[in-house]
Amino acid sequence: MEGTETTLEHRMLTDTLGAFGEGQQATLTPEQGILLLEGWLNALPGDVGAERIMAELTILRDHLKTGEYDLEKIRHLLLSMASHTSTLSHEPVVDSATAHQLTQLAQSLRSFSNHF
């Protein structure tokens, strides 16, 4: 997520923060979640540091596609992604604006995990 140009990663970050309601209580359907996850899977290949999150995105997307939800598994994946996102926000290659958005995303993921 280097630089200030509008990349797919930055658009996904903005879209995801918007979907989480900018700090308000988010209500995402499984279908909306799958679309967001697939967007991230398209945006992150080749992004340094993102490999930590890619596997979890895939697992969560595939789990949501089954229609049979293990709420504890979903909660665990969201919290793990929040932790990885927070770590990414402190990488030296991440500019300050993106770091702030990544921190917001990590907080939103933690908050959203409380729904499960």
Q: What is the pTM of this model?
A: 0.85
Extents of the domains making up the chain? 30-114
- Residue 4 pLDDT > 50, yes or no? no
Token pair recorded at residue 114? 């409380």
Which pLDDT does position 23 carry in this prediction? 54
- Residue 1 pLDDT > 50, yes or no? no
**Cα of 114 vs its chain's centroid, Å:** 15
- Residue 34 pLDDT > 90, yes or no? yes
Comparison of pLDDT for 116 and 115, the residue scoring more: 115
